[in-house]
A and B are shown apart, each in its own frame.
Chain A
Amino acid sequence: MNGAEALIKCLEKEGVEYIFGYSGGNVIPIFDAIYDSKIKLILSRHEQGASHMADGYARACGKPGVVLVTSGPGATNTITGLFTAHMDSVPMIVISGQTITPLLGKDAFQEADIFGISMPCVKHSYLVRQTNDLPRVLKEAFHIAATGRPGPVLIDIPKNISAGPFEGSLDPEMDLPGYKIPGPVPKADILKMADLINRSERPLLLVGHGAVISRAGSVLRQLAEKLQAPVTNTLLGKGAFPETHPLSLGMIGMHGTAYSNMALTRCDLILSIGSRWDDRINGDNAQFCVGAKKLHIDIDPAEINKIVRCDAVCIGDARLALEELLKHVVPLNTKPWLREIAANRRKFPLKYKKQGGLKAQHVIESAWEVTGGKAIVTTDVGQHQMWAAQFFLTDECDTWLSSGGAGTMGFGFPAAIGAQLAKPGSRVIAIVGDGGFQMTLCELSTAAINKLPVKILVIDNKFLGMVRQWQELFFDNRLSGVDLEGNPDFVKLAEAYGVKAFRIRRAADIRKVLAKAMAYNEGPCLIHAEVVKEDNVFPMVPAGRSAHHMIVERPKTKMEKPTGGT
């Protein structure tokens, strides 16, 4: 047996079903070992695509996604994928080929110091120098990727290591003396939280990705209902608490619902469950929930007090913490608070005009209606992502897969391929922009040859819409570098790949076309929605400002340039 064969045996033992990969010289021994394996290789058309596929697979089913690429450019092409997974705490293993050990550091052909290059965007990484170490490294990598706060792990394997003779154990002990996973949640911390909650009149539960990752959905619902506390979610918290639930305020933050942002400014207690108070919901820390008690449950000790100084914290798994918390809280009288929120909801609903051309919001909301919300949705980043977050309500964990922290264009479509493989029985819809889709559309081949019934809904406004919106609102409409003139006819493009395609140009056609597309399951299909070119996402909290500065429609006067990050 050689190292590569041992590696594949270990991957099989870890229960790996798919490897998302792209071959190349320094990884040939491993591809050779796959030849005899029951693991299915999904050959992407670009390594970035492979890494997003593995990411989508992992987000959809919770198991680490596995990527296999060659050295040099093969490896560097996974950096965006690693970074995306790292920012959103997604378990992923990237195995890269490498030049032979005697040539390491000598600028050999296709040699990249991927161990060094990837360091800031991995949870951990390895450069394997002994063939016999491979099983231990792999076992540790899976353990690290999937436990605690999940994240990506890179394993760089020189060709002579994978091709070398293997004489070790396939079931070695792990050697991770420095790896710590938070244990049971401390009771005293829970009691302190419960005490603050029990004295609150206007509580707000803020649900983030941590709640989704820990599968806290059911206990979260019990907690919210017992407290009669309103629940808002971050972009990645979508699905942890049903957005159709009467207590749900939907998404909060820069493009969240008006009533959730208003609740943020009015609550007397906010409990973050696996959300890291990031700058999309907290543009101005000094003005953030002034006077409110701030509580934080997070599995990562480094997130505690990073941005918001809290009155009570609990380090641990969100589900376990909530199960314990549920025992110690009492039903609250939140009727006046809920009435206030309901009034805001009536006064400032999410809205758009269905007249005046085809609207992205209309297409997306119709997709939600046509499918009854029963779908796994993936997105890219930008306006279509925000409209999808607003209008495609999410009721279940693991059904909203979006690049949140990284904001990666080109994520949605390959992630949908991974998700479809993870959940073959589910309907998977990639809602993508015309900009993002063009970054990874070569994976149309991958979807087509694997006959994956992914629905690709291209929201085509022929602009990089979100940047255009900023330029319109803050930069005197000096449009610079946002015009995607020259977009292809996406229907013809899909057909060139052998992919079924539909077109929507008029509002009247939306439902008819979507129904047809949703019923097509022989393979992937693309829906080209040619929406109005210039439309803006509202509500909007300008970057760097607090929720008090939210606008719900286009202001009549010129706005100040935002101070916060994009």
Chain B
Amino acid sequence: MSTLLTSPNLHTLSVYVNNKPGVLVRVAHVFARRGFNIESLVVSPTADGRYSRMTVTADGDGETLEQIFKQVSKLVDVLHATEHTHQEVVEKELALIKVRVAEAQRTEVLQILAHFKGATVDFTPQSVIVQVTGNTEKIEACVGMLEKYGIIELVRTGKVIMARGETET
């Protein structure tokens, strides 16, 4: 399984943008041009429908990212962009994991799931889809525990973050 999402060089940018066609391409372009791979990306409407929130997680050296951050901030469609440290924000993501589980192992899997406060959202005689939420490390740990049963499919939403307290995200 990928460990990129817990790499120490991982940066998370929160970008507040106009909710218009083409804005995603403009932001993605800035990353692509400097050869930065976006590890995860979440775009969703905000409380004010005119604007969207992008949460971009990318891996790379701080100096280049500083440049990318400035280039993104400069885009006309970007209202503001912020890079948050882990301490300042609440971080969550959700994963759906389809695990190959025969009847004999079902209890075991459910125990693991209980530990991670996950839920089963689909059951078939051969498999189960489990849902886990939490920070990236927790999801990685849960995926790690389920790997030995055989993960058929894994879908993750990517990280969303919100600044704690009165700070604006």
Instruction: State whether the Cβ of B75 lies closer than 8 Å to any Cβ in chain A.
Output: yes
B77 within 8 A of A: yes
Q: Which residue of B lies closest to A120 (CB)?
A: B29
Contact A301 B78 (CB under 8 A): no
Partner of A302, one of B33, B70, B77, B79: B70
Asked if A123 and B73 make an inter-chain contact with CB atoms under 8 angstroms apart, the answer reads no
Chain B CB within 8 A of A449 CB: no
A123 cross-chain contacts in B, Cβ below 8 A:
76
Q: Is A127 an interface residue (CB 8 A)?
A: yes
Asked if A177 and B22 make an inter-chain contact with CB atoms under 8 angstroms apart, the answer reads no
Contact partner, A115, options B22, B29, B67, B73, Cβ 8 Å: B22
Q: Does B135 reach chain A (CB closer than 8 Å)?
A: no
Q: How far is the CA of A297 from the CA of B45 in the complex (A)?
A: 37
Answer whether residue A87 sits at the interface, using C-beta atoms and an 8 A cutoff: no
User: Distance (Å) between the CB of B35 and the closest chain A CB?
Assistant: 14
Chain A residue contacts of B73, Cβ below 8 A: 180, 301-302
Is B25 positioned at the interface, with any CB of A under 8 Å from its CB? yes
Q: Known contacts A302-B67, A302-B70, A302-B71; is A179 also within 8 Å of B29 by CB? A: no
Using a Cβ cutoff of 8 Å, how many contacts connect chains A and B? Answer: 43
Contact bitstring A163-179, B, C-beta under 8 A = 1, else 0: 00000000000001111
- In the complex, are the beta carbons of A178 and B29 less than 8 A apart? no
Chain B interface residue bracket vs A: 20 to 34
| Residue pair B76, A305 in contact (C-beta under 8 Å) | no
A306 within 8 A of B: yes
Task: Give the one of B25, B73, B76, B77 with max A CB within 10 A.
Answer: B76
Complex alpha-carbon distance, A180 and B70, angstroms: 12
Contact between A177 and B25, CB atoms less than 8 A apart: no
In the complex, A116 has a CB within 8 A of chain B: yes
Tell me if A46 is interfacial: C-beta within 8 Å of chain B: no
B101 interfacial by beta-carbon distance below 8 Å: no
Q: Does B26 contact A (CB under 8 A)?
A: yes
A300 CB–B CB distance under 8 Å: yes
Is A28's beta carbon under 8 Å from chain B?
no
Chain B residues, Cβ within 8 Å of A178 = 17-18, 75-80
Bound Cα distance A125, B33 (Å): 18
Query: Whole-angstrom distance from the CB of B27 to the nearest CB of chain A?
Result: 11
B70 touches A301 (CB 8 A): yes
Contacts of A116 in B (CB 8 A): 22, 25
Asked if A533 is at the interface (CB within 8 A of a chain B CB), the reply is no
Q: B78 to chain A: which residues have CB within 8 Å?
A: 178
Q: How far is the CB of A386 from chain B (nearest CB, A)?
A: 28
Top 3 A-B residue pairs of the complex, sorted by shortest distance between their CB atoms: A302-B70, A124-B76, A178-B79
Contacts beyond the supplied A304-B70, A305-B67: 7 A-B pairs with Cβ under 8 Å? A124-B76, A124-B77, A176-B76, A178-B17, A178-B75, A178-B77, A302-B70
Which residues of chain B have a CB within 8 Å of any CB of chain A? 17-18, 21-22, 25-26, 29, 33, 66-67, 70-71, 73-80
